[in-house]
Amino acid sequence: MEMGVQSCRELNESSQMLPPLPGTFVNREELIQHVGEFAVSQGYVVTIKQSKRDRVVVLGCDRGGVYRNRRKAFDESSAEQTRKRKIGSRLTNCPFEAVGKKDDGLWMLTIKNGTHNHEPLNDISEHPSARRFTEREVLLVKEMTEAGLRPRQILKRLRQSNPDLLSTPKHVYNVKAKLRQGNITGRACLNFIFI
């Protein structure tokens, strides 16, 4: 029995993400891309938790943090009792954290906490980030929208050039809405969508 528990523990430890090795990078984007690609190869997704553009960037697991109930608390003395809602939060307060600091023109990567408190994804296509459009695809959506194509037609054309695209018509509608709201063109448009 002890042997089974020990092998199970070893399996759990081996399924954890190995933290990326600390190192130096030429720019901030290279550092973020390195950590992100490393995490995806291990079955995890990393996001920016905090950033000061030219000084520091803090990267954390996308499942870090806790659910915050923003609904108003109901009055217990009232006759009406509202039903309690189920929460669909993916947050598990994951402690993974990597910090990149700019020092003498180079970005230094240090790992504050390299562990995760959840299992890695078996298939990264299950994650919402896999359904994001690339910069080029966003520009194509904008052009096709201006040409008068409908979202399903836009998606069909995008899939002809990229058969692995996992986006749905809903994502096309969302991009169109962001383009309309911001009414922004060019590079600013892309920054607006990917923030």
Looking from the CA of 102 toward its CB, the CA atoms found within 13 Å total 13
pLDDT of 2 higher than 70: no
Distance CA 165, CA 90 (A): 23
Count CB atoms within 10 A of the CB of residue 111.
Answer: 16
SS3 174: helix
CA distances from 150 to 21, 112, 141 (A): 46, 47, 10
pTM for this prediction: 0.62
Q: Two tokens at 75?
A: 């009055």
111, β-bridge pairs: 98
pLDDT tens, position by position, 48-84 = 999 888 899 999 988 888 777 777 765 555 555 566 6
Distance CA 91, CA 65 (A): 6
Q: Two tokens at 169?
A: 């018509």
17-67+89-122 topology per CATH: N-terminal domain of TfIIb (2.20.25)
CB neighbour list of residue 34: distance below 8 Å, 6 or more residues apart: 20, 23, 25, 109
Distance CA 40, CA 86 (A): 29
Query: Averaged over 85-95, what is the pLDDT?
Result: 79
Query: Averaged over 155-171, what is the pLDDT?
Result: 89
Write down the residue that tokens 């892309």 correspond to.
Answer: 190
In 3D, which of 120, 118, 119, 98 has the Cα closest to residue 109?
Answer: 98
Q: Three-class SS string for 33-61?
A: HHHHHHHHHHCCCEEEEEEECCCEEEEEE
As to burial, measured by CB atoms within 10 angstroms (0-12 exposed, 13-18 middle, 19+ buried), residue 20 is buried
Query: Averaged over 113-133, what is the pLDDT?
Result: 82
CA distances from 10 to 3, 4, 156 (A): 11, 10, 46
* Domain boundaries for CATH 2.20.25 within the chain: 17-67+89-122
Give residue 181's pLDDT band: very low, low, confident or very high (50, 70, 90). Answer: confident
